Each structure stands twice: as C-alpha cells, then as structure tokens.
Amino acid sequence: MKRFMKIYIKNILLFLVFLIVFLVYIFINISDFEPIINKQVDKVFPSNNQIKESCLDCHQQFDGFSDYHNPKLIGCTGCHLGNKHQQEKEKAHHGMILIPGNLKDAQYTCGKCHKDQLSKIQSSLMTTNSGLVAVNKFIFGEAENPNGSYHINNINFTSAEKHLRDLCANCHLGTEKKDFGPIHQKSRGGGCNACHLNYTQKSADELQVYQSSNKKKLPKTHPELNLQIKNEHCFGCHSRSSRIATSYEGWSETLLKQHEVIHKKDFRILEDQRVFAKQSPDVHHQKGMLCIDCHSSHEVMGDGKTYIHQEDAVSVQCTDCHFTSLPKTITINQLDAESAKIAALRKYDLKDKKIVVKSKSGQPLINTFLDERNNAFMISKSDGKIHPLTKPSSSCLKDKAHADLSCSSCHTSWASKCIGCHNQYDKNDKQGFDLLSQQYVKGQWVEYVHEFSVAEPALGVWVINGKKEIKPAVPGMIMTIDKGSYQNKPGTEVVFHRLFAPNAPHTISKNGRSCVSCHLNPYVLGYGSGKLEINKNGKIKFQASYALNKNDQLPEDAWIPFLSKLEKNKTYSTRTNFRPFNLSEQQKIITVGMCLTCHKSEEKIMKESLLKGIDAIIAQKSNYCIIPRF
C-alpha cells in the first residue's frame, strides 16, 4: 500500500511539473496565447463549427470582423441571439438583439465570453456614477457629506436627483445605444460599444445605403468590435463637466455662439454646437498618445472594487513612467489573465521584457517596459510607435522645499474656470428631457452659466492619513441653486456654494510653471484673480479683478478670503480631504513670492532656499530686504 502511494504521489508530482513547464512555455511565447483564446471561444460556442446558421443565408457579412468575432468562429447568434435554425425572417429574428453590448442585456451577449470583464464593469464608476450622485446630493443638502455610495440607476425624483436626471445622468455606461452607426461626439453610454465599437469607412457607407434604401440593401461589411479604442470613444462624456477630453487636445469651452466664430481659425464647433477656443494641448497628445496609453483596462472597465470618487479608481501616476529609481516590474509569465489576453490580441512581443507595474495598484502597464539596459519605453496603442520614457529633471529631484507638490501642480499649463452659475427649475418647460429614462418630460432644471475662462490652476492640499500632497484645484461650484423653484416656490430657498474641486486638467507641459506664477499669483492661493502688492513697510495688499459676490462678499472667482484662517468644520471643497492652503502656508508662499520681486528664481540665493528653506535665507537678509508683515 505504501509503495502504491509513493508511485501515485510521484506521478502526481511529475504531472504538476509537466503542467508548470507547459504553462510557462505558453506564457513566454506570446503567440501561443491564441489557442487559449480559441479554446475559450469554443467552450462558449462548441457547436458553431458543425451547425450552419440560417442567418448567413441572407446576411452575407463576412468582412469587417475582428479575428475572434468572426461568425465563422462564433456564429451570428452568439452576439445577436435569435433563432439560428429558422429560415423565415420573423421566426429567425425572434428574440434577436439588434445592438448587442448594452449593459441591460450584455450577460446574454458579450458576457458569455467576457464574464469577468462584465462583472467588473457593473461596479465601475463609469457605470455607477457614484461620486457624481454623492456630490450632487451633498450640495442640495440631501446628504451630510459627499462620500456616500450610490448607483445612478437607483436615483428617484428628489430635487437633487431630478437635477441629475436633467443635466448629468446620460454620461454612464448603462445608457442604452439605440441607433446604428459609429461612436460620435454626442454618443453616451452603450455598454461595451462605448469603447469597442469601430466602423470603417466602408461599413459606415454601407450602413447609410441600407438606411436610405428603406432597409432593402443589406450591408456586407460588419462594424468591428476590437481593442482599437480611440480618443473619440472617450470624447462624448469626457468633453463635459471637467472637460478633460477637450482640454487634452487643447480646447477650452466658451459662451460664444456658432455664428460668431464660423470663419475664425482658432475656434472649434462641436456637434452639439458648443464653441471651444484654441489653447495649448497636453504634451502627451502632441506625442500622439491616446487616453488608453495611460489608463489601462483595470482602470477603465473597473477592477471589481467599489469606489466613490474618480481619483480613488484612477491608479496610474506620473511617476509610474517618469520614475527616479527603477520601478517594480514583472515578466510575461506573471501577467494576470486579462492583461495576458490583451497583450496577445495586441500582438505585443514582451518576451525578455520587464513590464512596468503601477506603484499604487500593482497592476501591469503592458505597453510600458524596461529593456536589458533598464531603459524605459512605452508602446503607443494607436500606431505601435515606441516612445522613450524620460526621467524627471534634476530640479525636481533636488528640490526639498517642494516635496509635497504633485507633478501636475507644477506641470499643468492651464485649467478651465467656470464661475457664476445659477440653477433653477422651470416647471413649464414642455421639452424637458429625462437623461436617465431617455424620455421627454414636462419641467426640468436649467443651468445658467455666467462665465467660462482659463487660467493656471489654483492649488489645494490633499490630505491622506496625515500626509499632504499639493494638487491643482478648479472652481467646482461657485453657484446658486434655487431649491424652492422645484417646489413651485421660486426664490424662497436659494442656497449658495463656493466649493473648489481637486482636478487633473490633462494639460501637462514639458516645462513646469514659473516660481512667480505660484508665489505671486493670488488665484493660486485662493484669493481670486488680481494683484498682490507690498509697500515699504512690508504690508501686503490684494487688488481683486472681479467684483464681490453678494452672497459672501468674496471676489467672484475666489476660494477663500485674503490671508484668512480656515474655519473649523467648514466645507471648502467637493471632497472632505481636500482643502485650501491654511494661513501659515499662505504666509510662507507669499514670503517667498516677495523675495522673487527682487531676486530671480535662478539666482544662487533662491536655489539655496530650495534646500535650506526660506527661513534660513531670510536670516541672511540685507537691510534692503522688505519682509512681509502679516
């Protein structure tokens, strides 16, 4: 019996060794991922190679499919359902889904092959819109703080929820795509289609012929579902709110009308008739990089975890690519299943490469690697171009005084500034549209915008576990809300908010902003646009550019009063852990700024202040120096 057990255990061990060697071989040779994918497809559609579907008797669409969505491999009913054994049109089309991929029925279509991805998408912020709902309910006074967990599909008709339905609620993946055709600027949602649907010019032209022929002339070229995710897929939703998509490309929103700019070259008119003015684009956009070059599938589709706010879900950081010391890396055989499959489909040659891992989440950036000499590179997902990754400049590395600054606080060239908004409910609007139910309704919230402009962003302090980080801040909500108007009592309950929001403007420049643009810029400090002056006695004066808002007597674009202490238990931001500079921080920043009125930033004494601190430098001041008196 003991001998039998030894032989049995030995055979088991040999089998395990063989299995491990086989799996290592599979992972080392990236092309050998294809049998794995084929096996997965065959598991879901085991009979499609043996049974001919009746769909192809009428629909001769053999062109345009990506490799693993070809009907020869998975059939038509694998995605569109229907009855593949019936010849009559009505019977064959029974139960058919014309546009697969919408989240309401994705479990029967895309989810049959991509079960894990569908599960993660259901809890992603792009599906739940949790942060959007949380902040909106907070500013309407329906929640104590902006940190609640919500799902956009579960909102009802409180004043805050109706506000979301009227102005915000279609920018989520659950919005159903109902029309045939490619993704465009007005596209919202569509589930899997939102990112993966691609029409070639041929398939788009044939669709137009089909529609104009009263659906008589069937298309022969099918649109593709693939990994060619372009910035256009992100643009529809992300050109709203903080306008990341437009800012990345170098465009800022205006209140101008189409006829005012129709022949002017530095303006752009979007499909929804909004007018944008030309600004400097993000340096990564200038290099030809796409959104998905930085934001991987784990971020975009979700990682299975529940997050409340966007910054919680975003795991990629500037230092993941622009690192000062060698980052953590993994090899191809250590990739998770999702990353390995994507690498195979993109046909990346990652053999003998060290794949960079994100420091925050531990997830791989499969298009970013180190070579045998530890030189770092990124593979562009648009054209396969190899971009060398540069290290931060020496000024970033040797600067102890600015250790708390995020990369974006210095390298963001501009950010949008929206001020003076007013929200009021119009119960008589007969053309109201509920963005969540996709239905016309009577009565809706209307937002009146006072001004759009751009500026170098203000800065605020992010505090996590007692650790500070300086980040860009924009006026998130300098606005009034006529809550009484929703109860048919306009003017009876008008609330005012002056809240800034942490922001990632996506307008990165190669060169950082100047020292003066922070230390002598009152907008950066939270006082609003204007000018800081010091007299011979060291007294500081601030002259605001904007008139005072009647609700709180602060300049219209201000965050806090001039040289003020922060009030305890007061909310200054759309986040509970993001605040303006406190008084001591304001004074220190201004003190350095006043030194810069005489001393240039490249002077020896100012460079010494980066290492020794400003207090040590002030101790060496001459009789000519004027030190601010606070």
- pLDDT of 210 reads 93
| pLDDT tens-digit readout, 467-482 | 999 999 999 899 999 9
* Closest by Cα among 115, 93, 111, 113 to 102: 111
| pLDDT tens-digit readout, 339-370 | 999 999 999 988 889 999 999 999 999 999 99
* Closest by Cα among 524, 529, 564 to 546: 529
d(CA 595, CA 614): 9
Helices 337-345 and 33-44 cross at an angle (nearest 10°) of: 110
Cα 287 to chain center, whole Å? 19
| pLDDT tens-digit readout, 212-222 | 999 889 898 99
What average pLDDT does this structure show over 536-562?
A: 94
- Please list, in sequence order, all residues whose beta carbon lies within 8 angstroms of the beta carbon of residue 90, skipping any fewer than 6 positions away: none
The pLDDT-based confidence of 35 (bands split at 50, 70, 90) is low
| pLDDT tens-digit readout, 560-619 | 999 999 999 899 999 999 999 999 999 999 999 988 888 888 888 888 888 888 888 888
**Within a 13 Å sphere around the CA of 456, how many CA atoms are in the beta-carbon half?**
22
What percentage of the chain reaches a pLDDT higher than 90? 73
Alpha helices in 29-142 (DSSP H): 33-44, 55-58, 71-74, 77-80, 89-92, 115-122, 125-128, 130-139
The pLDDT-based confidence of 4 (bands split at 50, 70, 90) is very low
Residue 412: pLDDT over 60: yes
Alpha helices in 197-282 (DSSP H): 201-212, 231-238, 244-249, 258-261
Written as six digits, the tokens of 616 are: 């040590």
What average pLDDT does this structure show over 63-88?
A: 89
Q: Is the dihedral of CA 608, 613, 616, 621 positive or negative?
A: positive
- pLDDT of 74 reads 86
* Closest by Cα among 160, 165, 167 to 486: 160
- pLDDT of 7 reads 52
Per mean pLDDT, which range of 39-53, 112-126, 174-188, 498-512 is the poorest?
39-53
Residue 15: pLDDT over 60: no
What average pLDDT does this structure show over 6-34?
A: 48
Residue 485: pLDDT over 50: yes
Provide the 8-state DSSP code for 328: P
The pLDDT-based confidence of 625 (bands split at 50, 70, 90) is confident
Residue type, 208: Q
Is 569 in a helix, a strand, or coil? Answer: coil
Q: Is the dihedral of CA 525, 528, 531, 535 positive or negative?
A: negative
d(CA 231, CA 472): 23
- pLDDT of 42 reads 57
- Please list, in sequence order, all residues whose beta carbon lies within 8 angstroms of the beta carbon of residue 319, skipping any fewer than 6 positions away: 359, 407
Q: Would you say 298 and 315 are in contact if contact means Cβ atoms under 8 Å apart?
A: yes
The pLDDT-based confidence of 272 (bands split at 50, 70, 90) is very high
The pLDDT-based confidence of 17 (bands split at 50, 70, 90) is very low
What average pLDDT does this structure show over 50-76?
A: 81
- pLDDT of 607 reads 85
Helices 604-612 and 583-595 cross at an angle (nearest 10°) of: 160
What percentage of the chain reaches a pLDDT higher than 70? 91
Residue 25: pLDDT over 50: no
* Closest by Cα among 557, 560, 562, 563 to 571: 560
Provide the 8-state DSSP code for 600: -
Q: Is the dihedral of CA 56, 61, 67, 69 positive or negative?
A: negative
Q: Which residues of 317-335 are buried (b: 16+ CB within 10 A; e: fewer)?
A: bebbbbbeeebebbebeeb
The shares of helix, strand and coil residues in the chain, as percent rounded to the nearest 5, are 35, 20, 45
d(CA 492, CA 120): 44
pTM: 0.89
The pLDDT-based confidence of 38 (bands split at 50, 70, 90) is low
Q: Would you say 232 and 190 are in contact if contact means Cβ atoms under 8 Å apart?
A: no
| pLDDT tens-digit readout, 112-140 | 999 999 999 999 999 999 999 999 999 99
- pLDDT of 14 reads 53
Q: Which residues of 544-568 are buried (b: 16+ CB within 10 A; e: fewer)?
A: bebeebeeeebbbbbbbbbeeeeee
- pLDDT of 28 reads 42
- pLDDT of 23 reads 44
Residue 627: pLDDT over 90: no
